[in-house]
Amino acid sequence: MTARSFRPVLLVLAAVLLAGCSAAPEEPATEPGGRPVAHAMGTTTVPEVPERVVVLDSQELDVALSLGVEPVGVASAAADGALPTYLEVPDGITVVGPMTTPDLEAIAALDPDLILSSKVRHEALYPQLSAIAPTVFAERTGDAWKENVALYATALNREQQGRELLDAYTARATEVGDRLGAAERTVSVVRFMPDEIRLYGPRSFVGSVLADAGFPQPAIVRDETDIAVRIGPEQIGSADADIVYVTSYGLDDDQPFAQVAPLWETLPAVREGRAFTVDDDTWMLAIGPTGAGLILDDLERTLG
């Protein structure tokens, strides 16, 4: 047990509460041998080799595991508290609550020496988190995932591994796209949810993977500045493309298509067998190198 482990959790939580009331966040005291890491919230001194890492979204979990780092804690992005099924998550990782409202007390109890998240997810919690441990935030998720791999790799002292992962991904995306004739095939990604239907574009994670492979995307999302366009069931025709990929979240097997019947069957891609259902965890929650590789696997499986 490290010297830091003897600090009572109650004292840590008191610091968290004080940080939450202060006007400006204070960084934890610099530890000997630490390294400065510039990120979305400023510059933070992190341990030379972090050993007890807490990650607060599936993006950070994917990156950490892809780099060979096993976190001690993770927040769940799934509604039921589960961790992404596409990742081989080792036993013993503590779930510290949902991604939207992570449990600060549970995080502090793990005595982390590094916390990873993003500004878009947890900006309001940064003062409390940084009072618990050195905290590094990316700016956002989505198509910024490759920049985030580089940032988190730096924080984890795995810069070389991060570069190798990204180089391998880029080479493979180019090769897969060339082999599948990507430039000549538009691809649409539709996600059915209980209250809305989303068409994902190039600013999303999956959209960026498609773009890296060279697949054009439909006009409705091509210039979208958000990750997705929300449409109603009567607009499902705008999802048509040469290839259509479908995921669903929070719905049973047949419910997604019941939302858009009978219009769904009028899409040429659906009528001609060019619409494929794929795993929502992999295509939507995966925002890292392992998830990107699995999307390329799906493209090869369905189009090869």
Does residue 156 sit in helix, strand or coil? coil
pLDDT for 223: 86
- Whether residue 3 is predicted with pLDDT greater than 60 in this model: the reply is no
Q: What is the pLDDT of residues 198-252, one digit of tens each?
A: 999 999 999 999 999 999 999 999 888 899 999 999 999 999 999 999 999 888 8
pLDDT for 151: 98
- Whether residue 26 is predicted with pLDDT greater than 50 in this model: the reply is no
Residue 203 structure tokens: 């600013």
pLDDT for 132: 98
The whole-angstrom separation of Cα 239 and Cα 280 is 17
In this prediction, what percent of the chain has a pLDDT beyond 90? Answer: 76
pLDDT for 165: 97
Specify the fold of 180-303: Rossmann fold (3.40.50)
- Whether residue 68 is predicted with pLDDT greater than 80 in this model: the reply is yes
pLDDT for 209: 97
Q: What is the pLDDT of residues 85-102, one digit of tens each?
A: 889 898 889 999 999 999
Interhelix angle 145-155/58-66, rounded to 10 degrees, is: 60
Domain limits, the chain = 3-157, 180-303
Average pLDDT, the chain: 89
Same CATH fold, 180-303 and 3-157?
Answer: yes
- Whether residue 147 is predicted with pLDDT greater than 50 in this model: the reply is yes
Helix segments in 196-303, DSSP class H? 205-213, 219-222, 255-260, 268-271, 280, 289-303
Q: Which of 46-55, 104-113, 276-285 has the lowest mean pLDDT?
A: 276-285
pLDDT band at 259 (very low <50, low <70, confident <90, very high): confident
pLDDT band at 304 (very low <50, low <70, confident <90, very high): confident
pLDDT for 255: 80
**Average of per-residue pLDDT across 139-159:** 96
Answer whether 178's CB lies under 8 Å from 192's CB.
no
pLDDT for 152: 98
Does residue 259 sit in helix, strand or coil? helix
- Whether residue 281 is predicted with pLDDT greater than 80 in this model: the reply is yes
CA-nearest of 151, 4, 128 to 64 is 151
φ and ψ of 239, to 5 deg: -85, -10
Between 171 and 26, name the one with better pLDDT.
Answer: 171
Does residue 89 sit in helix, strand or coil? coil
CA-nearest of 87, 109, 107, 89 to 98 is 107
pLDDT for 32: 58
- Whether residue 21 is predicted with pLDDT greater than 60 in this model: the reply is no
Does residue 98 sit in helix, strand or coil? strand
Given the candidates 3.40.50.1980, 3.90.1150.10, 3.40.1080.10, 3.40.190.150, the CATH classification of the domain at 3-157 is 3.40.50.1980
Q: Which of 146-155, 209-218, 219-228, 294-303 has the lowest mean pLDDT?
A: 219-228
Q: What is the pLDDT of residues 100-123, one digit of tens each?
A: 999 999 999 999 999 999 999 999
pLDDT for 107: 98
pLDDT for 55: 98
- Whether residue 35 is predicted with pLDDT greater than 80 in this model: the reply is yes
